[in-house]
Structure 1
Amino acid sequence: MANWFECKVRYDKMMENGVVKKVTEPYLVDALSFTEAESRIIEEQTPFISGDFSVSAVKRTKISEIFWDDSADKWYLVKVAFVTIDEKTAVEKKTSTLILTAGNDLKGAYDNFMAGMEGTMADFEIQSIAETPLMDVYKAKLGTIPAAKEE
């Protein structure tokens, strides 16, 4: 299971009108710890930012799953409630979950979410869909574990 951390990067950005403005942009990183998240966001952003920048915040998110779409340029947070019925009391119970989905617009995000939920056996209700300010999302880098040095 992925651990998603929201990292905020602060740097000087050249605006379209030529003015340099200090901005803080949020990114999502898959990491095992706060330290790894900070290290990963520095590694990912270094090629794209000229000049100095800093990681102003790192916080753990409650996102349980992400539905990707490489053609989309925006990220939407979907709050979905899974509906279960207690067999003993016959009471309906709703459990809310946050799922991040990519989309070019609200309808695209909804369509991507529904495609991702296709084949799900559980009943669910969409409680909300909201555009996020996220600039990009970085998956975990899967690679080889470095070999231990022999003495």
Structure 2
Amino acid sequence: MSAIWYECKVKYRKTDETGNQKVTTEPYLIDAISFTEAESRINEEMKAYISEEFKITNIKVANYAEIHPFENADRWFKSKISLLAYDEESGKERKTNMYFLVQANDVKEAYDNTVSTMKGTMGDYTIPAISESPIMDVFPYFSGDEDELEQLEKFNALKASKPEIVSETEDHMEFVTEEEEEAVS
């Protein structure tokens, strides 16, 4: 079953570095089946972090196709990926956009992490935009079942993984030209 991610905005009183208190609203991402479950889960998650009163001000379905956590990263970046396909009927190239949420420390690292997540993709794609996301944290779904424990461990393992540096590969394929083919025949 595909994950549905909900962006939940939480409003609460926060104490800054100077000791002043100010009201702030921060977005969090939560994996849930419905808006009702998202609200219930975000309330439970926030109780662990916020000791004072807080309010859920907005819940909406997030448009992320995939979430990719990485180790030693403290920010989330939204990567726009354009999948390229050739439409044979019209003879035009079509682009289909999707968005990944990738954890990184800066835009360059977010780009590298996006490329590493797209490594096994068979089709052509481009990455036209990467921007820092305001998302503070991501809470995947976990019910306590053994099967889902494996999924949670996989998610946490990704969070603890180190992205590998993608190096450019040289193309050593050789093609026979028509003239060479005719000369052989």
Give the TM-score normalised by structure 1: 0.91
Q: Which has the larger radius of gyration?
A: 2
Distance across 1 between alignment mates of 2:76 and 2:68? 10
Question: CA-atom RMSD, angstroms?
Answer: 1.3
1:148 matched residue in structure 2? none
Higher helix share: 2
1:86 matched residue in structure 2? 87
Unaligned runs of 5+ in 2: 146-185
Matches within 5 A, 1:29-68: 29-68=30-69
Distance across 2 between alignment mates of 1:127 and 1:112? 15
Distance across 1 between alignment mates of 2:24 and 2:92? 49
Unaligned runs of 5+ in 1: 145-151
Distance across 2 between alignment mates of 1:114 and 1:59? 28
Higher relative contact order (CA 8 A, sep 6+): 1
Runs of 4+, deviation exceeding 4 Å: none
1:119 matched residue in structure 2? 120
Higher strand share: 1
2:18 matched residue in structure 1? 17
Aligned residue-pair number:
145
- AA in 2 matched with 1:94: K
2:149 matched residue in structure 1? none
SS at 1:112 equivalent: helix
SS at 2:141 equivalent: coil
Give 1:141 shift: 0.9
